[in-house]
Structure 1
Amino acid sequence: MFETISYETRGKTAWITLNRPDKLNAFTSVMHKEMVSALKEAGKDDNVRAVVITGAGRAFCSGQDLSSSPQGADYGDILRKGYNPMVQALVGLEKPVIAAVNGVAAGAGMSLALACDFRIASEKASFIEAFIHVGLVPDSGNLYFLPRLVGHAKAMELAVLGDKVSAAQAAELGLVTKTVSEEDFVMEVETFAEKLANMPTKAIGLIKRYMNKSWESDLNEVLEYEAQAQKIAGESADHKEGLMSFLEKRKPSFTGK
């Protein structure tokens, strides 16, 4: 079905694997389109209640495949046609998305990880704002997500200096949800994804939608967003199940409805 990625469902979780290990999973225009298609597929499938994005081989994603970019290419046009739709599809997916960072996440590969809702990093993982080393500017939402995760001053430091950040350092900075050993990496990601997939999916989607909106909103707007979201969540089957399980003193069984 796909040429540059693989897509599979494991229980209630969709796994999207960047699959160009010989190129450290570097992005091409084909990969951009396939990522958008895979994210749309995960969004349409009611059985999918969490998404994992990871890389094949020893890298998560090394960024743009510069060898596939024609000389004199309009990078702005490449972003508008390729990267931006991918990031928009990722952020617009109202299901929790986990970046399972198995190795280096550099350049736009780091941007992809930042755009996800959670990041679980192998102890072998690293993050590099590689753009500056080739005289470019962080893109693919990087300048939006990075300062929101680590603060303005640290974001400037990472973006301008372009130093390699280890998994342990990323955890200290709040870049990742947690770091795990290489041996336990897949199991830890599966466990975390399964936990999310069994939670109230509609509520998570609403949290994601309106938390993203909150950055460009004032307090009164956020209060109204919360009221709108709570009306929708309050009418969900999962809310009814949550109430019943509380009253019956049992563990809830959420269906994502």
Structure 2
Amino acid sequence: MTAKVLVERQGAVARIVLNAPEALNAIGPDMAREFSRVAAEVAEDPAVRCVIVTGAGPHFMAGGDIRCFAEWLELPPAERDAHLGALIADVSAAVNSLRTMAKPVIGAVRGAAAGFGFSLMCACDLVIASDTTNCKLAYCQIAASPDGGGSHTLPRLVGVRKAMEIALLDERIDAARALELGLVSKVVADAALEDEAMALAQRLAGQATGAFGRTKRLFNASLENDLATQLEAERKAFVAGAASQDFAEAVAAFLGRRKPEFRGN
């Protein structure tokens, strides 16, 4: 059976590829289980210093596999609920790994990013989008509500009122509008997407990735903490960073007027 999720390594960069192009990479049970496992493994791999998440073929991800939903609707309620619960638990675990891993996660997005594909795009730390990208939250369109962390990340990216508009009106958002809203970091020509994403990933992987991890944790906590709690978290993170080899290397390089050689620790 063809793997539903591929992992490709290029130096310190891991590229996670959602691999069901014939179905627009719609996620079903097999892909969800593999994605959860792969995301956890990459998060724990010290050799990986930056991660790219993308989809095979001309689309990022068109959301959940509606064919599976149709099959499950024929089951007794308890069995149907168990299948849906397991699917959502796996996609939630994958998103949690991406959000909490101490390394940058780049979304390389083209074509459709709908449903869980939209939530997954929002879960990435940075997003490079092809000019073919079109986004729809899409859940309410099928009488469902968001999963994959979309209800957490989207309001933090665009504000609650705009997030509500995106969810309820469910209008298509093209690449240019996604850039205006802050849903993506950069828009490039479709043919350049892979090269642009890899160039950014290699750039980040060669820097002080331990500092990226601490910064990521601080930013993710910032909207939950009060000022005093956040200031204390910043103090602890800075002190921990000052004990790292990369910090010592940065100081020595600055004083020696040379480029630092970071190792990610």
- Coarse TM-score class (shorter-chain normalised): over 0.9
The aligned residue for residue 50 of structure 2 is: 50
State the one-letter code of the partner of 1:253.
E
Q: After superposition, where does 1:94-173 map in structure 2 within 5 Å?
A: 94-173=102-181
The aligned residue for residue 84 of structure 1 is: 92
State the one-letter code of the partner of 2:62.
S
State the one-letter code of the partner of 2:185.
T
Secondary structure of the residue aligned to 2:128 is: strand
Q: After superposition, where does 1:24-63 map in structure 2 within 5 Å?
A: 24-63=24-63
The aligned residue for residue 207 of structure 1 is: 215
1:131, 1:138 within 8 Å by CA — same for their partners in 2?
A: yes
State the one-letter code of the partner of 2:12.
K
Secondary structure of the residue aligned to 1:17 is: strand
1:39, 1:93 within 8 Å by CA — same for their partners in 2?
A: no
Q: Report the TM-score, using the length of structure 1 for normalisation.
A: 0.96
How many residue pairs match? The answer is 257
Q: Kindly report structure 1 stretches of 4+ aligned residues shifted beyond 6 Å.
A: none
Higher deviation after alignment, 135-144 or 17-26: 135-144
The aligned residue for residue 197 of structure 1 is: 205
1:51, 1:97 within 8 Å by CA — same for their partners in 2?
A: yes
Runs of 5+ in structure 1 lacking a partner? none
Secondary structure of the residue aligned to 2:8 is: strand
**1 CA distance for matches of 2:29 and 2:37?**
13
State the shift of 1:82 in Å: 2.1
RMSD (Å) for aligned C-alpha atoms = 1.5
State the shift of 1:129 in Å: 1.0
1:79, 1:140 within 8 Å by CA — same for their partners in 2?
A: no
State the shift of 1:50 in Å: 0.2
Runs of 5+ in structure 2 lacking a partner? none
When residues 65 and 207 of structure 1 are mapped into structure 2, their CA distance, relative to the original with a 3 A threshold, is: same
Higher deviation after alignment, 73-82 or 211-220: 73-82
2:137, 2:166 within 8 Å by CA — same for their partners in 1?
A: yes
State the one-letter code of the partner of 1:187.
D
The aligned residue for residue 236 of structure 1 is: 244
Q: Does 1:247 find its partner at 2:255?
A: yes
Deviation per residue, 1:146-183 (Å, 9 max, x gap): 11111122111111011110011100111101000112
**2 CA distance for matches of 1:173 and 1:214?**
21
Q: Report the TM-score, using the length of structure 2 for normalisation.
A: 0.93
State the one-letter code of the partner of 1:160.
L
State the shift of 1:78 in Å: 4.0
Higher deviation after alignment, 74-83 or 152-161: 74-83
**1 CA distance for matches of 2:2 and 2:228?**
45
Deviation per residue, 1:180-200 (Å, 9 max, x gap): 011211111111111111111
State the shift of 1:202 in Å: 0.9
